[in-house]
Amino acid sequence: LTLLKIFILISGISSLFFYFLYVFFIKNSLLISCPFVIFLLFRYYKIAINTSEGEFPINLFFKDKLLLFFSTIYFAYAIYVYL
């Protein structure tokens, strides 16, 4: 692994860790969104590392149907929880 891939992996894992801390201690109603967040981060990581499509994240989200579908579900649920 190159140094950049290691930094990307560390930042993804730490993002998940702090998201889980927020969900468990502050906003328990977002607990059901944890699998979506895990899936979205690791799916994006897999596509970005294996192809060169990670350079344009917005294009990647609109090209990949699974990322688009699960991110739409996540944002709809987050809006529901905060309203």
User: What's the rounded Cα separation, in Å, for the pair 8 and 55?
Assistant: 13
User: What's the confidence (pLDDT) of residue 26?
Assistant: 92
pLDDT per residue as tens, the chain (83 positions): 689 888 988 999 999 999 999 999 999 999 999 999 999 999 998 888 888 777 788 888 888 999 999 999 999 999 999 98
Reported pTM: 0.84
Radius of gyration of the chain (CA): 14
